[in-house]
Chain A
Amino acid sequence: GAGVSQTPSNKVTEKGKYVELRCDPISGHTALYWYRQSLGQGPEFLIYFQGTGAADDSGLPNDRFFAVRPEGSVSTLKIQRTERGDSAVYLCASSSTEQNTEAFFGQGTRLTVV
């Protein structure tokens, strides 16, 4: 596609529920990143994929968060037993390689846990 696509754009879920957030990167981009942005703050790194493997998941806050990229393209961020503190905008970005190249962001998924 022309840009990074994220679905859904908005997600409201009840505390304790499971959610999946999808990211479709720019075609051909091997590097994919997830960031989380709280209100009034800059994005914070969660996880980085190079191809199918998670090369760095050091930013995931706890084991309720998990992400996959099984075919090296689309990625899914999964959050179990959601908590109100998980409410934020989840941003996905991709770049052609990992070597300090431009990272292009999607529009984000706004997650609200009620």
Chain B
Amino acid sequence: GENVEQHPSTLSVQEGDSAVIKCTYSDSASNYFPWYKQELGKGPQLIIDIRSNVGEKKDQRIAVTLNKTAKHFSLHITETQPEDSAVYFCAATSGRYKLSFGAGTTVTVRA
């Protein structure tokens, strides 16, 4: 099955700086890669996703890149704000429905 590894496990950044989270996956058939943000006591919220036919996608301050050859993808948050503090999860799927999640990255934005 799919194995997703995520790094770092914790990330502390100064407000206004950028944050980068990296994930690798094992199944070369994976073709859908969503990123979720989870705040304390809440369920994961989809913030951006990318499909295997696209190398990069951007939505305001958030961008995701995908390198299919190396089997890794990354989340980039620019101009971080205190409300960006949360746990972020990457995921991948080769099956059409079964998401495999990374272990999560706790992001803390220091004011």
Interface residue ranges, A against B (CB under 8 Å): 4, 6, 31, 33, 35, 40-45, 48, 55-56, 59, 91, 93, 95, 98-100, 102-108
Q: Are B51 and A45 in contact (CB under 8 A)?
A: no
Known: A45-B98, A100-B51, A107-B41. 13 other contacts (CB 8 A): A33-B97, A40-B103, A42-B6, A42-B104, A43-B44, A56-B97, A100-B31, A100-B32, A100-B93, A100-B96, A102-B46, A106-B43, A108-B42
Q: How far is the CA of A102 from the CA of B97 in the complex (A)?
A: 10
- Residue of A33, A98, A102, A105 with most partner-chain B CB within 10 A: A105
How many chain B residues touch A (Cβ–Cβ < 8 Å)?
A: 27
Residues of A within 8 A of B96 (CB): 98-100
Q: Are B89 and A43 in contact (CB under 8 A)?
A: yes
Q: How far is the CA of A99 from the CA of B96 in the complex (A)?
A: 5
In the complex, what's the smallest C-beta–C-beta distance from B56 to chain A, in angstroms? 18
Q: Are A48 and B51 in contact (CB under 8 A)?
A: no
**Total contacts A to B, CB within 8 angstroms?**
63
> Which of chain B's residues has its CB closest to A91's CB?
B43
In the complex, what's the smallest C-beta–C-beta distance from B50 to chain A, in angstroms? 11
A98 CB contact (under 8 Å) in B46, B97, B101: B97
In the complex, what's the smallest C-beta–C-beta distance from B71 to chain A, in angstroms? 18
In the complex, what's the smallest C-beta–C-beta distance from A50 to chain B, in angstroms? 8
Q: How far is the CA of A6 from the CA of B42 in the complex (A)?
A: 11
Q: Are A103 and B104 in contact (CB under 8 A)?
A: no
